[in-house]
């Protein structure tokens, strides 16, 4: 009997028995799926976001980080184009021979039919190893410390989702995953350096740190099953203890009873669902 690939069908060993799972298809981004892996995850908040189409009147992610990640990708790709090798600060990735432009999330997705869940996303980097396999990576603009980032479980699940999609979208085999921390230099020495000064502003230097991420299809399968279970509930699950977002929802609903709800997008829907 032939060995199964590392990212075998997520439902092959633990089929979900409930026929109600097939009622409607859920579409979820790899990053949002990763949130389910966080210790601070709240099922109630997740359920509300699902019912509201992932639109809440709070939770704004600064666009500057996406811009930095996009610029990092351009720098790495241009280095490859000019030198035919990865930049020296990515030596920790091992034997890399080239790269692929990451596809748009509309073309990088996969449906787990047994669960009725579509996973979608777009990784920051897809590298081609010299053995022909692929390494999928994400850039993370943050300080790198010996103590793991509290958000690491989210990044780990996100990258594993990319691995699954990649295997189904022509990147098989996906042999490795990596999280690349791009740590900014913000100390006094960097601030005083003349090379960082410009007539119209200043430059900021970064240092790369490569962190290998384990390919874990079983963990990914468990997260997908949990997503299906939460979304199938007719009523919101209990709140996580001391969940700040749940308190904010309650405050918004209370405000809605005293003010015009249309001043806060999504508030009327929150009142109906809470």
What ranges do the domains of the chain cover?
A: 25-47+61-231, 244-273
Residue 198: DSSP 8-state: E
Q: Which comes out higher in pLDDT, residue 108 or 56? A: 108
Distance CA 32, CA 238 (A): 20
Helix, strand and coil content of the chain, in percent to the nearest 5, comes to 40, 20, 40
pLDDT, tens digit, 9 for 90 and up, residues 127-179:
999 999 999 999 998 887 755 678 899 999 999 999 999 999 999 999 999 99
Q: Which comes out higher in pLDDT, residue 5 or 66? A: 66
Q: What is the pLDDT of residue 253?
A: 64
- What's the order of all strands across the beta sheet hosting 96-100? 96-100, 125-129, 134-141, 174-184, 206-213
Phi, psi of 111 (to 5 degrees): -105, 120
Question: Where is average pLDDT lowest: 178-182, 213-217, 264-268?
Answer: 264-268
Instruction: Name the average pLDDT for the chain.
Output: 84
The CA-based angle 85-91-97, given to 5 degrees, is: 35
**25-47+61-231: CATH class:** alpha beta
Q: Give this prediction's pTM.
A: 0.82
Distance CA 150, CA 146 (A): 12
């Amino acid at each position: 009997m032939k060995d199964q690939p590392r990212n075998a069908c997520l439902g092959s060993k633990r089929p979900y028995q409930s026929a109600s799972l097939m009622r409607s298809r859920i579409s979820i981004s790899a990053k949002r799926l990763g949130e389910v892996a966080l210790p601070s995850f709240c099922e109630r908040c997740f359920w509300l976001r699902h019912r509201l189409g992932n639109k809440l009147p709070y939770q704004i992610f600064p666009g500057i980080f996406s811009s930095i990640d996009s610029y990092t990708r351009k720098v790495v790709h241009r280095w490859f184009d000019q030198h035919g090798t990865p930049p020296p600060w990515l030596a920790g990735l091992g034997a890399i021979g080239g790269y692929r432009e990451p596809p748009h999330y509309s073309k990088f997705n996969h449906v787990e039919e047994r669960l009725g869940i579509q996973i979608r996303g777009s990784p920051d980097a897809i590298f081609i190893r010299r053995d022909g396999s692929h390494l999928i990576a994400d850039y993370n603009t943050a300080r790198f410390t010996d103590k793991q980032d509290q958000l690491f479980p989210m990044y780990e699940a996100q990258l594993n989702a990319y691995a699954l999609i990649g295997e189904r979208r022509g990147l098989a085999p996906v042999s490795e995953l990596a999280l690349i921390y791009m740590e900014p230099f913000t100390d006094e020495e960097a601030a005083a350096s003349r090379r960082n000064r410009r007539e119209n502003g200043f430059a900021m230097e970064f240092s790369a740190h490569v962190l290998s991420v384990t390919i874990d299809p079983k963990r990914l399968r468990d997260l997908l099953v949990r997503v299906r279970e939460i979304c199938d509930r007719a009523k919101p699950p209990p709140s996580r203890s001391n969940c700040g977002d749940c308190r904010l929802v309650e405050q918004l609903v209370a405000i809605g009873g005293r003010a015009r709800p249309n001043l806060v997008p999504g508030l009327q829907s929150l009142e109906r669902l809470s």
